[in-house]
Structure 1
Amino acid sequence: MAEAHSAVAFSFAITHDGWDVNFDREVLYLVWESGVRSWKKRLARFRNSVHNGVYPGHLQSLYVLWSMLVAAHFSGLNIIPFGLVGKAMAILPGETAVWQVAACLIAALTMWLSVIFLMRYMLKMLLMYKGWMYESRVPGAKISLKTKLWVSVVKVLSGWNKPKLYSFQGSLPRLPLPKVKDTMRRYLVSVRPLLDDDNYARVEKKAREFEQTIAVKLQRYLVLKSWWSSNYVSDWWEEYVYLRGRSPLMVNSNFYGIDTICSKSTRKQAARAAVVVHLCLQFRRLIDRQELEPIMLQNMVPLCSWQYERLFNTVRVPGVETDKIVHYHDSNHITVFHRGRYYKVVVYSRGRMLKPAEIQVQMEAILNDPSPPCPNEERLAAFTAGERSHWAHARQTLFNRGHNRTSLHCIERAAFNVCLDDVEYRIDENPKNLEPVGRLLLHGNGHDRWFDKSFNLCFSTDGFVGFNAEHTWADAPVMGHLWEYVIWTELEGSYNSKGDALGTVETPPPPPTRLQWELQSEPLVKALDTSYEVSQKILNDVDLRILMYTKYGKGFMKKCRTSPDGFIQLILQLSYYRDAGRFCLTYEASMTRMFREGRTETVRPCTIESAAWVKAMVDPKVSVEERMRLFRAATHRHQLGYQDAMCGQGIDRHLFCLYVVSKYLELDSPFLQEVFNEPWRLSTSQTPHGQTSKLDLKNHPECISAGGGFGPVADDGYGVSYIIAGDDTLFFHVSCNKTCPKTSASNFVKEIERSLADVKEMFLTYNKLQEKKA
């Protein structure tokens, strides 16, 4: 196994014999190669910036217009508007033919930019229209004339040129700021099913007082921020919800994703790791070159692509009071953790990305390395799993020099981190028993994932893969997009008959380099022990259950002519009520990426309508017809709430920003204090699915995605992630704390199964009654 290269790239010394100059040609070549690659990327970024800056126009149209003006000018045709060529000639130093051509270029550029920016402004104004979101998508439903005209104009303006990843960024509208009156009305409606009459009257009084007093002043500041900033929420959301949080990232913030549950083409850990790493690097190249097309709703409305910028080469650096996200523009290496040892693996050599077969050689070298870890190296990542301020102090004082500083910088600057686990996942043997894999990916053993990195790829000895992702830099759909691309591209053929990665190794790739550490000082060991104890306490308290439900899925929901997400959310409301005997404040994440730099908004699925339906389901006296009527009303109300959230008319982000302003102005608000002291006892999220055209369950029905999950938000609550994986398959990832006597993930999963069966029975019974009446 190769150790760290001891030679320096260049050294200079004066001796008794004269000057002594030493240099390592190989290292200098690597430095040169890295610089050339960096400049190529800068030029590519500049070219893409020009393309995006003039979208939906194209530079070719400028050349055509220039040619037409040159032809018209020299032909003596007086058709050039506003005499632009003559005005340009007046500011040029000569009147020769060359200067006349230059004047035509200035005139063409003026006309072209005027049209381009007019088109961009029109597109931005059109994308502010959200009426299409509220129109029925039921087949055969009528679409308003206004929406039809809107669709036609949007397609004309955005269909001139194939967009790049960031082409629509300048045309996306800003997140609208709701009126305080509207937010107060929505809030009071959302909390009504959670409060009795007396408590509701009390909250209503506080809300009215807030609306009529300090809310007026707070709103004025938000209006200014909404005008000045590209998004009035996102920077504060990232800063105060994520970066200023002092609790550990592990379980509390980071989330995980699981491999597909089908049998794999290889059981070789090194081969699978090589192919997945290579495909991740391909995805990074698509982002760098902006060859990845932006996601379009209804193939027409673009979503903001801003979050993709920090998918790779990104780390969350701990701070004493607040962390910061550090993104490096480029990185030619990844880091690998195996059996307590860290390695630097260079994945670019001689001007190109290494092939999967070459990366496999590197991974095999790591797996075959018999050297033991340095003292305390095995537990080093526990720092990233512990309290943030503690890690910040340790990082500043114990990792500020020598090998520790160099090796830490190597990990933080890596494209991403890879964990070669020393266990089997056995996903395909028993896909209904995924809890051990979920726990490994959510927290591992508390010190085998670098939780600060944007994401960690985790590979089992039997060839399965999962990931653990940090949440600050982006939301789950971005990581889900990468995951779909990797998993489904891999199916196109990545291994030979022996299970090795395709390709040949003509020259040996750069060998992995062991990172060196100095971890034996008493202060460092003591600090590491503190973080380790915290991580062990957290992971031992996690109660995680994963339900694979195969009795029905999206296919049955479509037959019920209802929103699949609304269907599942009502299932969760019924399950929680049966489990806890009451309703609770429920969080469901929705995206606001139809707006520039949009992230998420909260949908509150516990509504007056859903509570009425749940009570009807537990009351045996209520008829099936009444239950169905209430179910339809509840799903319709949920869909309306989801649409409001996506269109910037949610509740919680507006209240959050009002709260931030009140803290800056040192204005106390009993109403806002009560709002933000309410715990989210049921935190839910649907795993994004179908973000790429590669997803093909018709030809590969066995490759069902198991989705992913996260930890509970409240100490006495549940974290529930779900994925509608196919026409007959659903996955639920349910987490809670073992030490809480009021929660049990096993009981909640049983209630979910019971609720799913009861709702299906409700529909079947109702359909039979309708057939009899007909």
Structure 2
Amino acid sequence: MPILEREPPKGRRESYVLPKVPVPPLKQTLDMYLSCMKHLVKEEQYQKTKAIVVKFGEPGGTGELLQKKLLERSDKTYNWVYDYWLEDMYLNQRLALPVNSNPAMVFPKQNFKDRKDSLRFAAHLITGVLEYKERIDTRVLPVDFARGQLAGTPLCMKQYYRLFNTYRLPGHKRDTLVIHKPGSTEQEHIIVACKNQFFVLDLVVNKKKLKEMDILTQLEKIVKMAENSEERQPPFGLLTSDGRTEWAQAREVLIKDSVNRESLAVIEKCLCVLCLDNPSGMEVGDTSRALLMLHGGGHEKMGANRWYDKPMQFIVGEDGVCGTVCEHSPFEGIVLVACTEYLMKFMTGSPSKMGRATSVSELPTPARLLWKTTPHIQDLLKASAERLQRLVRDLDMDVHKFEVYGKEFIKKQKMSPDAYIQVALQLAFYRCNGRLVSTYESASIRRFHEGRVDNIRSATSEALAFVKAMTDEKASLSVSHFSYLVPQLLGYSHYTVHHAITGLGIDNHLLGLREIAQELKMERPEIFTDETYVASNQFILSTSQVPTTVEMFCCYGPVVPNGYGCCYNPQSDHLLFSVTSFHGSTETCSAVFIKALDEGLVEMRDLCRKSNKPQSSAAPAASKAVVNNQGAGSKLPSTLQKTGK
């Protein structure tokens, strides 16, 4: 079994054995699948789906065969779902990485006096990156432990070890996640992007690591070199912003020339990318900063000053717009948060060491990466630029700070902030569309070896009952309607605690059964071609809680053309939302969604306040029945704390 270690007190090292991801019972998954979808599809379609699912799960049927094969796979591997999940979620996807896949973390706005001030910040940031990577390489990062439910359970740390030593290589049908050996001498450099040019900054010279002053000196040289128009190269970073198949085809053309081949190899093995951006010319607010992180503003601004295949890409703008945009396949948001919070605390708590330079007599001039172009390659660059620009124009983003109350108010109601906000999101969507849809919320399964995530399906039947009560019966809304909220949160919590985060969620299991059928070269079982299954995987509402303890926030794009991406960050006295959609969809509008979310959160607060007042009469029998169906009274138990945040 795999062993993880942490840095314990008094120098004593402890180790922990992580269990395998379980294979859920087949009947449990099928029953839960029907339960999750019953209220989201028309009755006629549900009855058709139910018959298909019953047939699939019959003794001796297709489902039992696939379940048996999945159990055999589990016996032979540490994590039966990891490869299936990675390919399905990321590597098989053909959409462009910016907006569609890569999330961004937006740092606090910096107030740089001049360009050199921004370079000092960048040099200090890279110094922090190197310190953090050393902690990773020497395995001294403390192991993360679960909080809330199953508190104290150690979590898998492998995602941390892939922050800096991975690269997503484009493929015609499927990408490849390349993993370099930790501490490899091939990774003793970073790539610096400046004015759409790419430079190699070696971090070790004559076997000595560069000091912060030396890094600043090299960055100053790079800026000066980038200003030399006579040596300027075409904006090859644009190719990485394209669809994955288009980029793979373009890369095949590039590597026919040895110069291009060598430049690509250097980039693909770098530690990280540092993007030194010019002032954007945009009004600097939360929304505009988030847009610049996600797509750079297109080829007319900083969209070409990026290399989107590299997992860790740090952005330092001369106008103080800073953050990181990440290729998401090697790690989840919580790992990104841990890394960036470490860096932010390093930046503020560790003074910049701009003392005397290293004893290296003379630092070599950073190398500019060279490219050989042809008319065909120029056409490819032009096409990539046009497609990026269309994506930039289509993205509808609204970063909103809800300041009426924060998570402390929610906790005082003895409710989980995460569950409460999920209910508010369902209410907002229902107000805008008159229905609920399949909703994605990531649930970490890092308590298992190489665990990534499963899905919390928060669009429950209880959520539908609540949003209908809040909307359709608003005219007669009374304190008794608060009881609709109680069973929803209980049902949501039950699914979260006992299924998704304990490896018994339905999405990974159904994915595994589907992929096993494909490996056996079976005709795809009807359960996976059924309209309900297709709809169940169209996540029109894609959500994620990404809480931070320092001033920064996460954002990402929608995962379907007619959907919303909603990342939220609950703080003590406010709630921060980053909502995205596409202008091209007539079904969505980020500002309208935010307005509905605001109104719903205020109404939920008012309902909470009313419910806390002494009541002269009991709740109506119908409302009581809803509560009793959950096997609980009106008081919410402490188990509602999903992650302890």
TM score, norm. by length of structure 2: 0.87
Distance in 1 between the 2:100 and 2:457 partners?
21
2, 19, 26: which one aligns with 1:180: 26
Q: Are positions 1:218 and 2:66 aligned together?
A: yes
The amino acid across from 2:334 in the alignment is P
1:250: Cα distance to partner?
1.7
Equivalent pair of 1:345/1:511 in contact (CA under 8 Å):
no
The amino acid across from 2:406 in the alignment is G
The amino acid across from 1:625 in the alignment is V
1:676: Cα distance to partner?
4.2
CA 1:749 to 1:511, structure 2 compared with 1: closer, same or farther past 3 Å?
A: farther
Cross-structure match for 1:636: 490
Cross-structure match for 2:343: 486
1:730: Cα distance to partner?
1.4
CA 1:417 to 1:765, structure 2 compared with 1: closer, same or farther past 3 Å?
A: same
CA 1:228 to 1:451, structure 2 compared with 1: closer, same or farther past 3 Å?
A: same
Distance in 2 between the 1:626 and 1:510 partners?
73
SS of 1:336's equivalent? strand
1:383: Cα distance to partner?
1.1
Equivalent pair of 1:178/1:654 in contact (CA under 8 Å):
yes
Q: Are positions 1:232 and 2:80 aligned together?
A: yes
304, 311, 320: which one aligns with 2:163: 311
404, 407, 415: which one aligns with 1:554: 407
Equivalent pair of 2:514/2:524 in contact (CA under 8 Å):
no
**Aligned Cα root-mean-square deviation (Å):** 2.6
Equivalent pair of 1:548/1:730 in contact (CA under 8 Å):
yes
Distance in 2 between the 1:240 and 1:623 partners?
44
Equivalent pair of 1:399/1:405 in contact (CA under 8 Å):
yes
Cross-structure match for 1:441: 293
SS of 2:459's equivalent? coil
TM alignment of 1:232-631, pairs within 5 A:
232-260=80-108, 268-298=117-147, 300-329=152-181, 330=184, 331-369=187-225, 370-372=227-229, 377-378=234-235, 380-423=236-279, 433-444=285-296, 445=298, 446-495=303-352, 502-507=354-359, 510-618=363-471, 619-631=473-485
Q: Are positions 1:681 and 2:536 aligned together?
A: no
Distance in 1 between the 2:409 and 2:265 partners?
51
CA 1:200 to 1:460, structure 2 compared with 1: closer, same or farther past 3 Å?
A: same
CA 1:603 to 1:55, structure 2 compared with 1: closer, same or farther past 3 Å?
A: closer
The amino acid across from 2:170 in the alignment is P
Deviates more, 1:435-444 or 1:358-367: 358-367
Distance in 1 between the 2:109 and 2:357 partners?
31
CA 1:188 to 1:262, structure 2 compared with 1: closer, same or farther past 3 Å?
A: farther
Distance in 1 between the 2:10 and 2:84 partners?
36
1:491: Cα distance to partner?
1.6
SS of 1:337's equivalent? strand
Cross-structure match for 1:739: 584
1:321: Cα distance to partner?
2.4
1:313: Cα distance to partner?
2.9
Cross-structure match for 2:45: 199
1:309: Cα distance to partner?
2.0
1:671: Cα distance to partner?
1.6
Equivalent pair of 1:590/1:603 in contact (CA under 8 Å):
yes
Equivalent pair of 1:519/1:525 in contact (CA under 8 Å):
no
1:585: Cα distance to partner?
0.9
CA 1:306 to 1:360, structure 2 compared with 1: closer, same or farther past 3 Å?
A: same
Distance in 2 between the 1:252 and 1:751 partners?
24
Q: Are positions 1:717 and 2:529 aligned together?
A: no
Distance in 2 between the 1:265 and 1:288 partners?
36
Structure with higher Rg: it is 1
Cross-structure match for 2:624: none
Equivalent pair of 1:262/1:704 in contact (CA under 8 Å):
no
CA 1:207 to 1:291, structure 2 compared with 1: closer, same or farther past 3 Å?
A: same
1:454: Cα distance to partner?
1.0
Equivalent pair of 2:289/2:321 in contact (CA under 8 Å):
no
Equivalent pair of 2:470/2:477 in contact (CA under 8 Å):
no
Equivalent pair of 2:5/2:143 in contact (CA under 8 Å):
no
Equivalent pair of 2:105/2:323 in contact (CA under 8 Å):
yes
SS of 2:221's equivalent? helix
1:55: Cα distance to partner?
6.9
Cross-structure match for 1:659: 514
Cross-structure match for 1:646: 501
Q: Are positions 1:763 and 2:608 aligned together?
A: yes
TM score, norm. by length of structure 1: 0.73
Equivalent pair of 1:375/1:519 in contact (CA under 8 Å):
no
The amino acid across from 2:349 in the alignment is E
What are the superposed Cα offsets for residues 325-379 of structure 1, whole Å, 9 maximum, x if unpaired? 112222111001111211101122344432222212222222233312756522x
* Structure 1 unaligned spans of 5+: 1-48, 59-157, 496-500, 690-694, 696-702
SS of 2:228's equivalent? coil
1:421: Cα distance to partner?
0.7
SS of 2:334's equivalent? helix
Equivalent pair of 1:344/1:512 in contact (CA under 8 Å):
no
What are the superposed Cα offsets for residues 41-80 of structure 1, whole Å, 9 maximum, x if unpaired? xxxxxxxx9xx96979x9xxxxxxxxxxxxxxxxxxxxxx
Cross-structure match for 1:87: none
Distance in 2 between the 1:350 and 1:601 partners?
47
The amino acid across from 2:456 in the alignment is V
Equivalent pair of 2:197/2:232 in contact (CA under 8 Å):
no
SS of 2:198's equivalent? strand
1:265: Cα distance to partner?
11
The amino acid across from 2:484 in the alignment is L
Cross-structure match for 2:551: 704
The amino acid across from 2:445 in the alignment is T
Equivalent pair of 1:624/1:766 in contact (CA under 8 Å):
no
SS of 1:368's equivalent? helix
Distance in 2 between the 1:183 and 1:266 partners?
58
CA 1:54 to 1:506, structure 2 compared with 1: closer, same or farther past 3 Å?
A: closer
Cross-structure match for 1:140: none
Equivalent pair of 1:616/1:622 in contact (CA under 8 Å):
no
* Larger relative contact order (CA 8 Å, sep ≥ 6): 2
Cross-structure match for 2:640: none
Distance in 1 between the 2:493 and 2:161 partners?
31
CA 1:598 to 1:55, structure 2 compared with 1: closer, same or farther past 3 Å?
A: closer
CA 1:727 to 1:54, structure 2 compared with 1: closer, same or farther past 3 Å?
A: closer
- Sequence identity percentage: 28
Distance in 1 between the 2:354 and 2:615 partners?
58
CA 1:556 to 1:426, structure 2 compared with 1: closer, same or farther past 3 Å?
A: farther
The amino acid across from 2:509 in the alignment is H
1:531: Cα distance to partner?
2.2
